[in-house]
């Protein structure tokens, strides 16, 4: 098959280190009957070892040249979705089998869409069993940060209110071709059986979190001055003089519940 030139606009950095690929597939731990969906199979670095371990595999790919290569292989076990993963309906049941078990998502994600893609998936978290994603190490450190850490902020709060996060491995740039300018890492995200934020206040929570971290060096009272008074924060047992970095997810939920109780109907 003709060689493929990596396309920057699709964030193509192909994995080329077999021992890294082996560790990633082992960390995913595929079982024969799993409903695995890979985002961006590229030239197949993870796809082929996964295909060897499962009965069926779905992939989503945006690059028409790569899609043509997959069609040419004519692999019976493979379902190819030719589309943008940011628009994919993960709840849709479009596989050859009709069972509606949650999918396991995997992917060495194009870095330019990784954060919006995670938010897109989280909106459909009930349709997902778990996610194993390769991302920039810096993004994974922010996803997995605990309250009080330097990297703790909106991303950690929004993701951890819906998922358990676990950083699994760091991957050096030389494991890819072309090599990216940054270090990468592999993360496992598992949707919680009970999301921490009730559906009814999810939108309010998202807006509040954005506001709470808008100016990380200012106090929480200052960031939220248009939403509630310093006094109201104290009543919720939150120190109005704290920086947003030290406000836990539970405290942010408490503030949201208070706002929702006092909002005019």
**Is residue 176 helix, strand or coil?**
strand
Q: With CB under 6 A, what is the number of residues at the site for ligand SAM? A: 24
Indicate which single residue of 34, 58, 63, 130 sits in contact with ligand SAM (rule: CB under 6 A). Answer: 63
Indicate which single residue of 13, 114, 115, 184 sits in contact with ligand SAM (rule: CB under 6 A). Answer: 13
Of 26-34, 60-68, 166-174, 183-191: span binding ligand SAM (CB under 6 A): 60-68
Indicate which single residue of 61, 145, 212, 227 sits in contact with ligand SAM (rule: CB under 6 A). Answer: 61
Of 13-21, 70-78, 205-213, 219-227: span binding ligand SAM (CB under 6 A): 13-21
Pick between residue 30 and residue 110 the one whose CB is nearest to ligand SAM: 110
Retrieve residue 35's tokens. 């409903």
42 in contact with ligand SAM (CB under 6 A): yes
Indicate which single residue of 75, 86, 147, 232 sits in contact with ligand SAM (rule: CB under 6 A). Answer: 86
Of 38-46, 186-194, 201-209, 211-219: span binding ligand SAM (CB under 6 A): 38-46
**Is residue 41 helix, strand or coil?**
coil
| CB-based closest residue to ligand SAM | 40
Residue 86 C-beta: closest distance to ligand SAM, Å:
5
14 in contact with ligand SAM (CB under 6 A): yes
Q: How many residues does the chain have?
A: 265
Q: Are 212 and 220 in contact (CB under 8 A)?
A: yes
Pick between residue 85 and residue 259 the one whose CB is nearest to ligand SAM: 85
Retrieve residue 261's tokens. 């109780």
Pick between residue 10 and residue 119 the one whose CB is nearest to ligand SAM: 10
Cβ neighbours for 56, distance < 8 A, ≥ 6 positions apart? 35, 77, 79, 95, 96, 97
62 in contact with ligand SAM (CB under 6 A): yes
Rounded Cα–Cα distance for residues 246 and 239 (Å): 10
Indicate which single residue of 25, 28, 37, 46 sits in contact with ligand SAM (rule: CB under 6 A). Answer: 46
Indicate which single residue of 56, 108, 115, 256 sits in contact with ligand SAM (rule: CB under 6 A). Answer: 108
Q: Which of 154, 124, 120 is nearest to 139 (CA)?
A: 154
Residue 5 DSSP code: P
Region class of 5: left (phi > 0), else alpha (psi between -120 and 50), else beta: beta
- The 3-state secondary structure of 209-247, one letter per residue: HHHHCCCCCCCHHHHCCCCCCHHHHHHCCCCCCCCHHHC
30 in contact with ligand SAM (CB under 6 A): no
Give exposure, 161-186, as e/b (b: 16+ Cβ within 10 Å): bbbebbebeebeeebbeeeeeeebbb
184 in contact with ligand SAM (CB under 6 A): no
Residue 177 C-beta: closest distance to ligand SAM, Å:
8
- Interacting residue ranges for ligand SAM, rule: CB under 6 A: 10-15, 39-43, 45-46, 60-63, 66, 84-86, 108, 110, 113
């Amino acid at each position: 098959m003709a060689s493929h030139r990596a396309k920057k606009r699709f964030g193509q950095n192909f994995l080329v280190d077999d021992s890294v690929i082996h560790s990633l597939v082992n960390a995913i731990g595929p079982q024969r009957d799993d409903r695995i969906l890979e985002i961006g199979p590229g030239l197949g670095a993870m796809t082929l070892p996964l295909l060897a371990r499962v009965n069926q595999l779905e992939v989503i790919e945006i690059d028409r040249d790569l899609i043509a290569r997959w069609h040419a292989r004519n692999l019976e076990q493979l379902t190819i979705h030719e589309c943008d993963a940011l628009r994919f309906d993960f709840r849709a049941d479009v596989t050859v089998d009709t069972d509606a078990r949650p999918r396991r998502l995997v992917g060495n994600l194009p870095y330019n869409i990784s954060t919006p893609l995670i938010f897109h998936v989280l909106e459909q978290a009930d349709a997902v069993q778990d996610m194993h994603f390769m991302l920039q190490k810096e993004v994974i450190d922010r996803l997995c940060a605990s309250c009080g850490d330097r990297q703790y902020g909106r991303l950690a709060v929004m993701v951890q209110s819906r998922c358990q996060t676990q950083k699994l491995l760091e991957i050096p740039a030389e494991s890819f071709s072309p090599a990216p300018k940054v270090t990468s890492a592999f993360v496992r995200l598992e949707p919680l059986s009970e999301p921490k934020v009730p559906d009814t206040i999810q939108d309010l929570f998202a807006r509040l979190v954005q506001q709470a971290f808008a100016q990380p060096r200012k106090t929480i009272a200052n960031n939220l001055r248009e939403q509630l008074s310093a006094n109201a924060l104290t009543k919720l047992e939150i120190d109005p003089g704290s920086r947003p970095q030290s406000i836990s997810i539970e405290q942010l939920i408490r503030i949201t519940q208070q706002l929702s109780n006092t909002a005019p109907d």
